[in-house]
Amino acid sequence: MSSKQISIGVGVPMIVVGALMAFFWAPTNLEWTDTIEFVGGLIGILGIIFFVAGLLYTKQPLIT
Q: Which structural domain, as residue segments, surrounds residue 11?
A: 4-56
Q: How far apart are the first and last CA of the chain?
A: 22
Tell me if 29 is assigned to some domain.
yes
pLDDT, residue 63, reads: 84
pLDDT, residue 58, reads: 79
> Structurally, how many domains does the chain consist of?
1
Model's pTM, two decimal places? 0.83
The mean pLDDT value for 51-61 works out to 86
At 45, the pLDDT band (50, 70, 90 cuts) reads very high
Tell me if 11 is assigned to some domain.
yes
Tell me if 63 is assigned to some domain.
no
- Average pLDDT of the chain is 90
**Cα separation, 45 vs 13, whole angstroms:** 12
